[in-house]
A and B are shown apart, each in its own frame.
Chain A
């Protein structure tokens, strides 16, 4: 068993065993608390620039299944787990995790005290780290970690977005022979949706197709004019990696489109929508990454357990922070009033807003799940309803 080292920018060193592709990698280390879905996580473009640490300790048990990838490749810069399974067991799987990592040139480390690392990141904030199988000198790795760029202000979107626009036709494939739970009949009436790809996950596209949408994906740099020319019924601003401040061009495009057609913003798309509306964004200490985040829908006061993956957030302090009950808050913006619709029950973070008089629906979390609970799938339906209303208006 080959040794490996992980060194953080603050000089903390963790020693473990080599996993995956032999080499060295650098990225911001973030922890994810989901107990399932490592493959979806690895292939989520939002992890561009980040090394992912799984807090669940037994990873790789059910192997890797091609259909479960959330994009065309693995985006995470590195992978940290307590114990990587030496054998997979699942009827769908076709490859072990470690072979998959090797094939996709992902450098990983396992066999370290991942809980200690998690606590360190929680207490001291996410930071850049270097995993190496080849350089086992902590000081040298420390230098590398310190000199590596952080996420702040960087445009990572350009690295993950598609090169050319494309049509997407696939809905959610039936998982099981007996699958009846999530198969939604394709409605006959269809809306044309343009998805701005900031690093879109396949399940966003599938969720739209499941609801009868015709999906057209465009690169992040596509101009508002081009998008208008596509004559869509609605627009989706997708999830993606990094700092929303790093993609001023996208913000401008979004500003040009607000109010024109119904808009759904997800994750980075949500943050960009926030910036476009004139709301500030900020970086969270260690972000939200996991599948168990409780979010309150402030109008119905019900709770959904959501899948989350973000280090930045739209900054709207919650009245809950000063001991007030969380409620609907309104702000006026150049595009009309918006209302905070969702907040995290963990830290009060703004998890969603909508336009009061203009058709904007925006959520920080991942209604497409994958991985994570399906509680929030209704968001896509709300988006379709918005398009319906617009069509009838």
Chain B
């Protein structure tokens, strides 16, 4: 069947900001869909509030709306652009939920819009737990016994039938948000309350727990002729009870016989047909009782999912792209398989390697968060690795995580031991507890269990992890012990790195065995010398000898020749890398997503690849994050799906011999490698490692600032605790502290006194000798400014100046910001620009640079300089209409900014607000107060010609729409009271009723405002939190000073966040909100595509 000709313009919905449970995998799917639909000649109209995505690049769609993802906005788009069809399956749960709302409100019918990819009925059937259960029963499949409830009373009645443990799942949420396992009645009631709030439709499923069953997922595709194929069976190493997004997963399924697999496959076919997903991909989850093979269906996602991204990268089958083509009428047999070129998409990939995905967590950023893994997702990213065997892939995945673990290191000081019964019973007990409770460390606890003499069966009994996996772990641990034993036998003790580099002949044979098992040189060295630093083998493998070589991912197990160089390293004898002799550049990606390093950097890497392709230069991408666009095999000429450690990267460089390596786009991950790579003689493109070091090294940086006669907050570097105290006293409290070489403000904190400094040093446990502590004067109430600039070695151009809405001291990734600035004096802007250019020249920046300034009393201080792509590059690019990362890549290849016609900061006739999105509700964070440590997972952009509207849009996109009426609750610190009066007056004028805590209320009343006083939490009930919980409050303004008042007021902010009440923790943000309310009351919502903004832009700049 050829493509549909009755539709021309397709509306595509993205997934909005990155949140836990919905990350950049939907940029991967949206981008593939956009490209596929454009290739087919359709016009694409796109809505996504997340500017950091590739899919919102203006040249990927015809109309790109970076606007709030609300029904109101969609209707405005329908009116303007009159699309014929809507493809709802590419933007995760967000897109699906928005589509359901549109359908329910009759808007699809009203505007004559056809749903393609999935019908409303099938979405309902798959998403509504009750309908799904009925559908499964109709086709003879089992589902866990369950029922859905809409009130606590119903829940308690249902509990009688289901019993404990019981799973509580809200309907229509993503990442299993709000899902929990209850073991007793108290927990059950608590979880029901939360779930009822979390579900957008107030419906909650209570179901029987299949704790300990094995969990599987199948990725299924269907076309309109009812051809169905399975792309990949995935097996979870973690048994049921842990959300699949938080589980270690393995492809293909490892422990299913053909009989069981076919049974599951048949079930999947029946399910997709019964649910009626007409075209495209679906993900189906099964649980299997390991005792008797009993199978139950857990759930189905009638859309592209996180697992689809994983399955695509795991097999080389581009699920989203194919799904988009199926949605417009093609059948599977009409779509070619890009990798083999001779076969079609209508087949089932077979894989001749093993894929392991391990989730990445950032619990360390959130104090007091429960680290136990359960049915709602808590991880923020993931790393994937490929190897010929599970053991190899597992070890590669571990080092891809970048958690400073290069293997199954012992958490209990047992490295090198094996089945050792002499381990202290107390330690053994701790290990058993670690195996019993699923956390991000369970894998390592299992390894320690083996070391401490637990059997495979013991570990299976405690963890319910399939014995096959446990045995694999056992074999790795056993080898480690053998390695240590034989090395000691050959070399004596102690062993120093120089004794094993190069590897002595006596260990050569064993070293090959180690490589076959996927051991890194770092880990092997660490086992012998206690520290992994210092090279072990690091010698290139002779091509004809067995060793670590590269193989291709080809979808077909080698049956057909692979034409796409999608490569992974593995132990073998024949290398398939076949490097070309073209001019080539290697781009190092950002690795797994984490807070502080996410999709923005992938965006930059993808742009770098595009720019190089434009220039006819071969691109080699290296990354290990399966959610990304950069790991799509057609983004670069060659893709290496590999860990980003120095030894893994060097191995690729030895094979490929690139002309240069790009480290400035992937965030801190590749940046960390720049000095070691340069040390190995690798050419680093753009800004040189020495300049990077001048900016990163505090001492050299201070010298730089002094040389240029600029200002920075008074500061010092402490290499011991007493030094820290001396420096802090000399500077004067409050001070800002952080360890050197960090990203995302990791462990960064404002310290108000000496006791707090001690507590900080103790809590973080930083080894100051290894990571000196940076101490800065904290500029209270300063305005913070972010600048992105680009330089070609001669000329530097400021691309965007962003004024933070929150004051300095709040991490720039967490602060809302405005581009262009909305309150800075022209003279200050000129000065910022002058200083930026000066710094770029002095550092010899070639490529991108980001500077953070603090403005206090019109004086400009430099907080930090990052000679690399920053988190704001996509935001700035989309606002100003110039692709900065592409320009930077070209500059790095020798182009001049004058050749690229980028000579001055583009004037803007509109403005954009960037707002951060936080995982507080998903993680159950106890205090949501913002600070210097970054905690947001994603961002949104509000763009408009008017500041108020842009701010309002940004808040709506971030999921906290500003209210137009109701009660405003004010509780502010002393210093903010004067400013609060002005704010309160305007809120009153806008029709808000005012409530305030005692001090604030007294102040406002004394200035003639009508204010109701409410109790603080400590002052008796009903208090402020009661009012928030009862939804009597429309917005909260709560600013706090020192530690004590922060702790006092934490419940207020928590209640607001969890109750979905907009809250502002700075006066500046509250003022912006008031401007937003004023704008919304003055003029109606207007939407406009980026293409339209940029057309105006190019007219005004004459480019």
Contacts and interface: CB of A to CB of B under 8 A. Distances in A.
Report whether chain A binds chain B: yes
B389 A82 contact: yes
Contact of B294 (A118, A177, A345): A177
A161 interface: no
A177 B292 contact: yes
Contacts of A55: 350, 352, 557-559
B346 A89 contact: no
Interface stretch (B223-231, B595-603, B955-963): B223-231
A175 B293 contact: yes
Contact of B347 (A36, A177, A293, A369): A293
A91 B258 contact: no
A122 B559 contact: yes
Interface string A283-312: 000000011111010000111010000000
Looking at A33, A179, A290, which has the most chain B CB atoms within 10 Å of its CB?
A33
B804 interface: no
B347 A33 contact: no
Contacts of A371: 258, 262
B333 A303 contact: yes
B468 A292 contact: no
A62 B140 contact: no
Interface stretch (B9-17, B249-257, B635-643, B1083-1091): B249-257
Interface stretch (B27-35, B202-210, B265-273): B265-273
Interface residues on A, range: 35 or more
Contacts of A290: 350, 557, 559
B574 A119 contact: yes
B262 A118 contact: no
Contacts of B475: 86
A155 interface: no
A114 interface: yes
Interface in B551-566: 551, 556-561
B924 interface: no
B350 A86 contact: no
Given A33-B557, A58-B354, A83-B389, A345 B255 contact: no
Interface string B280-302: 00000000001111111000000
Interface string A114-133: 11101100100000000000
Contacts of A116: 572-574
B142 A56 contact: no
A226 interface: no
A40 B574 contact: no
Contacts of A252: none
A259 interface: no
Given A92-B257, A292-B348, A294-B344, A57 B225 contact: no
A89 B255 contact: yes
Interface residues on B, range: 35 or more
B558 A113 contact: no
A370 B258 contact: yes
A177 B293 contact: yes
B237 to A, nearest CB: 12
A322 interface: no
A114 B574 contact: no
Contact of A181 (B229, B256, B270, B576): B270
A87 B429 CA distance: 26
A373 interface: yes
Interface string A10-24: 000011000000000
A176 B263 contact: yes
Contacts of B342: 346-347
B1071 interface: no
B259 interface: yes
A22 to B, nearest CB: 22
A353 B818 CA distance: 70
A374 interface: yes
B388 A82 contact: yes
A115 B572 contact: yes
B140 A180 contact: yes
Given A57-B388, A119-B574, A68 B259 contact: yes
A257 B1077 CA distance: 88
B443 interface: no
B354 A33 contact: no
Interface in A11-51: 14-15, 31, 33-37, 39-40
Contacts of B292: 91, 176-177
A113 B574 contact: yes
A179 to B, nearest CB: 7
A3 B403 CA distance: 38
B260 interface: yes
A189 interface: no
B573 A373 contact: no
B293 A92 contact: yes
Given A33-B559, A87-B468, A175-B293, A345 B344 contact: yes
A89 to B, nearest CB: 4
A281 interface: no
A305 B574 contact: no
Contacts of B267: 181
Interface string A224-268: 000000000000000000000000000000000000000000000
Given A68-B259, A115-B388, A61 B254 contact: yes
Given A35-B350, A56-B351, A302-B226, A175 B574 contact: no
A164 interface: no
A56 B253 CA distance: 11
Interface string A341-367: 000011100000000000000000000
A40 B258 contact: yes
Given A33-B556, A92-B293, A57 B352 contact: yes
B111 interface: no
Contacts of A177: 292-294
Given A31-B558, A61-B255, A374 B262 contact: yes
B163 interface: no
B181 to A, nearest CB: 23
A373 B516 CA distance: 33
B892 to A, nearest CB: 36
A111 B570 CA distance: 13
A242 to B, nearest CB: 21
Given A58-B390, A345-B344, A90 B257 contact: yes
A324 interface: no
B558 A89 contact: no
A372 interface: yes
A87 B471 CA distance: 7
Contacts of A62: 255-257, 260
Nearest to A14: B573
A118 B253 CA distance: 22
Contacts of A140: none
Contact of B352 (A56, A90, A305): A56
B576 to A, nearest CB: 8
A176 B293 contact: yes
Nearest to B352: A55
Looking at A37, A91, A112, which has the most chain B CB atoms within 10 Å of its CB?
A91
24 contacts: A31-B557, A33-B557, A33-B559, A34-B258, A35-B233, A35-B252, A55-B352, A55-B558, A55-B559, A56-B350, A62-B255, A85-B468, A89-B255, A111-B516, A113-B573, A115-B352, A119-B576, A180-B140, A181-B270, A290-B557, A292-B347, A296-B333, A303-B333, A346-B342
**A-B pairs with lowest CB-CB distance, top 7:** A37-B258, A55-B557, A116-B574, A371-B258, A118-B558, A89-B468, A33-B557
Interface of B: 140-142, 225-227, 229, 233, 252-263, 265-267, 270, 290-296, 332-333, 342-344, 346-354, 388-390, 456, 466-468, 471, 475, 516, 546, 551, 556-561, 572-574, 576
Interface of A: 14-15, 31, 33-37, 39-40, 55-58, 61-62, 65, 68, 82-83, 85-93, 111-116, 118-119, 122, 175-182, 290-294, 296, 301-303, 305, 345-347, 369-374
Given A112-B573, A291-B258, 13 more contacts: A33-B556, A55-B350, A58-B254, A61-B254, A83-B389, A87-B467, A91-B292, A115-B352, A118-B352, A119-B574, A181-B263, A302-B227, A303-B332
